[in-house]
Structures are given as C-alpha cells and as structure tokens.
Amino acid sequence: METISTAKVFDGTQGVYRHKSTVCQCDMTFSVFLPPQAEHGPVPVLWYLSGLTCTHQNVMDKGEYRRLAAELGIAVICPDTSPRGDDIPDEPDNWQFGKGAGFYVDATQEPFVKNYQMYSYITKELSDLVAGQFPLDMSRQSITGHSMGGHGALIIALRNPERFKSVSAFAPIAQPSTAGWSKPAFEKYLGPDEKSWRAYDATSLIEDGYRVEHILVDQGTADGFLNDGLRPWLLEEVCKAANIPLQLNMRDGYDHSYFFISTFMDDHLRWHAQHLKADL
C-alpha cells in the first residue's frame, strides 16, 4: 500500500492511499479519515460509497464529515467507484457505465468480468486491507452512500447483516434493475438473465428474504432524478411489506448535489454512532 497524502484535520488524520488490487486487477485509490481517538486504540468504522462519475475525492472535498466524525470517534472509509486505468474497458461517452460507474456489482460478462468486481473489492479485499493497516474495530461497522453508492450501501448491508450495525443512504437508486439509468449497466455487467440481477437490487433482495434491522434514507424533493432513477417509494413499499423500519426523510427543496448531502451528513453520522456504540 502506498500513502499518497496525509493531513491533520480536527486533530485526526485524513489520508489517501493507493494499492494494487488483485480483485480489480488495477491500482485502486481510497481515503481513510482517522479520528483522534484512533491514537489510543481501534475505532468504529463508517463506509461511504460514492455515486456515478465520482471518486473517493468528492465526499472528501464536499461531504463535511470530519468535524463530527472526529467528535464521535468514527473512522470514515471512502473507496473509489470503479476500477481505473488506461486498459480498463469503458464507454467514455456514457457517464452511466464503465469507469466511475461500477454499480458495486461483480461483473460476469466479457470484457468487464476481469476488472469490474466492485462488490468483492469493497466487501473482501479493501476490507481486509484496511483491517490490517489501520486501528479499526471491524466488529463495529456501518455503511452509507449516495445515489449509486446508496444502492451499493443497501445491497451490501442486506447481504451482510451480521457485519454492519446500521445502513443509511442519500438519494439511493432504490430499484436499479428497472431504473432507466442503471438497467442498461446491469445487462452489460451481469448479462441478459434478469434473475441474476436480483442479488444487486435492494428491493429484490428484501422481496427474497434479506433483512436488516433498520434503514435511514434522506431524499430531496427537488432532485431531478427522483422520478426516473431513484424512486424511494419502491423501497418504502417493500420495507413496509417486510416489516423493516425505514425512516424516509423527504427533504423539501433539496436536489441531488453535495449541498444536499453535506446538509444532512451530521444526521447520518449521529444515527450510525448510536448503533455503532449501542453495545459498549
């Protein structure tokens, strides 16, 4: 692992790192914020998964999470959204597919199967790497994300409920298998058999019996993607049928940007902190 940069902030450390991924078969970059409490022992972890076209950098620059994360004593890990490099298959003119748009799935179709293994990268390889390199309490993990990353947070938590104490999302893609901006990507990554897509669709996973104890979602009412790509009411319907407590906050006048995310970041951090520290 290579350290790209570190900076002291709110008495903690914001670092950016690069490593050779065997899962994605390329160099991958990620960031870790360590709160000051990490100097005295392992701290709980919050994963933040970014959305389409983003990298680890977007939330670092605009998410405004470090002040409160330092106060609460929570490390924040921000992975990239896809494999990177000149040799990675891509559609440069399509912002909804390829580099910057890995959708947190393990691709099964050529030529994407070699590199686009983002589900395994997040849940296995990167998790094992940070556990060995940083003072993290991996028995206390939570996960959140935005848009495509909100979709990623939901499916990862649903498929690994024993690992994550809580899950939240900002404007998640609730049902990517039918959304106009994600269905084409699913077909290219996963093939034409839509049954295989269910493993990466939060509403389908809940219909198929996967459960978490609770979900927090914030969604702006002025989000231009609300009615096509996001559709939080679909998640609300399946959660109600499955008796999963869902706190869905429809935020009047807010859009899809980091102005929206940064406004409610503190709410999500405090909510995760309650669950991460509930058993102490």
* Coil vs helix vs strand at 139: strand
pLDDT of residue 158: 98
* Coil vs helix vs strand at 153: helix
Which one of 31, 223, 268, 272 is the catalytic residue?
A: 223
Mark whether 272 is an active-site residue. Answer: no
- Which strands, in side-by-side order, build the sheet including 75-78? 2-9, 12-21, 26-34, 75-78, 43-49, 136-145, 164-170, 215-220, 246-251
Mark whether 147 is an active-site residue. Answer: yes
Question: Cα separation of 122 and 105, whole Å?
Answer: 10
Structure tokens given for 111: 């030529």
Exposure string over 129-159, b if 16+ CB within 10 A, otherwise e:
bbeeebebeeebbbbbbbbbbbbbbbbbbbb
pLDDT tens, per residue, the chain with 280 residues: 999 999 999 999 999 999 999 999 999 999 999 999 999 999 999 999 999 999 999 999 999 999 999 999 999 999 999 999 999 999 999 999 999 999 999 999 999 999 999 999 999 999 999 999 999 999 999 999 999 999 999 999 999 999 999 999 999 999 999 998 899 999 999 999 999 999 999 999 999 999 999 999 999 999 999 998 999 999 999 999 999 999 999 999 999 999 999 999 999 999 999 999 865 4
Q: What is the CATH number of the domain that holds 9?
A: 3.40.50.1820
Which one of 256, 268, 272, 275 is the catalytic residue?
A: 256
pLDDT of residue 181: 85
pLDDT of residue 278: 66
Question: Cα separation of 210 and 229, whole Å?
Answer: 23
pLDDT of residue 200: 98
What's the whole-model pTM score? 0.97
123 CB-near residues (< 8 Å, 6+ apart): 156, 160
Question: Cα separation of 201 and 249, whole Å?
Answer: 21
Mark whether 223 is an active-site residue. Answer: yes
pLDDT of residue 277: 84
As for how many domains the chain has, the answer is: 1
pLDDT of residue 152: 98
* Range(s) of the domain holding residue 22: 2-276
Question: Cα separation of 108 and 197, whole Å?
Answer: 11
What's the distance, CA 23 to chain centroid? 18
pLDDT of residue 35: 98
32 CB-near residues (< 8 Å, 6+ apart): 14, 15, 17, 75, 76, 77, 78, 130, 134
